Amino acid sequence: MENILYLVLGLIILIIGGEFLVKGSVALAVRMKVSMVVIGLTVVSFATSAPELIVSVYSALTGHPDMALGNVIGSNIANLSLVLGLTTLLFPLAFKQRLFRFDIPVMLFASFLFGFFLYTNSVLEAWEGFIFVCLLVFLTIYLIRRSRKEEKLKAPTQEDKMPLPKLVMFLVSGGICLYFGSRFLVDAASGLARVMGLSERIISVSIVAFGTSVPELTASIIAAFKKERDLSVGNLIGSNIFNVFAVLGITSIIKPIAIVDQSLLTNDIWWMFGVSLLIFPMMFLFHKGHIGRVEGGLLLLVYIAYIYFLF
């Protein structure tokens, strides 16, 4: 019972921390005059991936490598099936050609490079993490420069601007909440796995991954409701890229991550590849130019099937 209480408490604190960080990050991006597409792909994605980063670093440092990897793999599956599915069921999302010409191919490249490194020796080494971080830096610089060249940015209104002290308060409060939330979540999840006789891999790719994906779900639904559809889709694609390049990159630099449960390689990572590849045909199968409720329902069914076969 104590583990469940701490698990719920950790999830709640992570959700609050993720929400604070998203608000502060978007306000910071508005001050920097960055377009909404790039905000979604970079600033919001990094902010909503912060729970995954803190959870994975803490898991690796405390001797739970499967939780560090499973958290990212499960979160990437949840982002594109559960979160995108639920969001498009509520609000069909339009997308620009650049999404499938550049953004999704980058996400697929990140996923396959991650898989290649793991299949090589079942360990994500520090030098491999360094490559991830370097790719992330180059990608972020490229996106910001291209955005400023291609898109006409509207000047932020007084309503868009957030007072600097409030902005700093959101960022600092969000970071503190993420730290303590991740500690409660990882400790409770590992304890729950022992009590229930489940592996840390199963707990991490399901419960922990769902908890760390809640900020993406919140950010995407709010963005879609406010008709910032580019921000909604860009957040999810960008978050999956950041989960690999930033979360696994930084974590493996701090401490190399070795696989304990081989099912992460033989099962879960293939689900991650499959869901990522499924996005391409879904963009053209039923509707041209947007992802509708039919596709959203199918994506949600994919996530339900994954969880069903997992247990």
Domain ranges for the chain, please list them: 2-310
Q: Which of 250, 299, 230 is nearest to 34 (CA)?
A: 230
DSSP state, 204?
Answer: I
- pLDDT value at position 131? 97
CB-neighbour burial class of residue 180 (10 A; exposed 0-12, middle 13-18, buried 19+): middle
Q: Does position 35 have pLDDT exceeding 90, yes or no?
A: no
Q: Which of 259, 256, 201 is nearest to 57 (CA)?
A: 256
Q: Does position 277 have pLDDT exceeding 70, yes or no?
A: yes
The partner residues of 258 in beta bridges, in order of sequence, read 123
Q: Does position 259 have pLDDT exceeding 60, yes or no?
A: yes
Q: Does position 155 have pLDDT exceeding 60, yes or no?
A: no
* Predicted TM-score of the model (pTM): 0.84
- Cβ contact 276:58 at 8 Å: no
Q: d(Cα 58, Cα 186) in Å, to the nearest integer?
A: 8
Phi-psi region of 197 (alpha: psi -120 to 50; beta: other; left: phi over 0): left
Residue type, 5: L
**Which of the pair, 248 or 140, is modelled with greater confidence?**
248
Q: Does position 27 have pLDDT exceeding 90, yes or no?
A: no
In this structure, the number of other CB atoms found within 10 A of the CB of residue 291 comes to 26
CATH superfamily label, 2-310: NCX, central ion-binding region (1.20.1420.30)
- Cβ contact 236:38 at 8 Å: no
Q: Which of 51, 73, 86, 70 is nearest to 293 (CA)?
A: 86
- pLDDT category at 255 given cuts 50, 70, 90 is very high
Interior/surface letters 231-260, b for 16+ CB within 10 angstroms, e for the rest: bbbbbbbbbbbbbbbbbbbbbbbebbbbbb
Q: Each residue of 87-143: pLDDT tens digit?
A: 888 888 776 677 777 888 999 999 999 999 999 888 999 999 999 999 999 998 887
- Cβ contact 247:53 at 8 Å: yes
Q: d(Cα 277, Cα 282) in Å, to the nearest integer?
A: 9
- Cβ contact 129:248 at 8 Å: yes
- The radius of gyration computed from the CA coordinates of the chain, to the nearest angstrom, equals 18
Look at the block and give the residue holding tokens 């891999």. Answer: 201
- pLDDT value at position 148? 65
- pLDDT category at 159 given cuts 50, 70, 90 is very low
Lowest mean pLDDT among 96-110, 149-163, 293-307: 149-163
Record the tokens describing residue 243, joined without a space.
């989960």
Residues 220-237, mean pLDDT to the nearest whole number: 74
Q: Does position 41 have pLDDT exceeding 70, yes or no?
A: no
Q: d(Cα 260, Cα 1) in Å, to the nearest integer?
A: 27
Distance of CA 56 to the CA centre of its chain: 12
The partner residues of 174 in beta bridges, in order of sequence, read none
What's the whole-number average pLDDT of the chain? Answer: 82
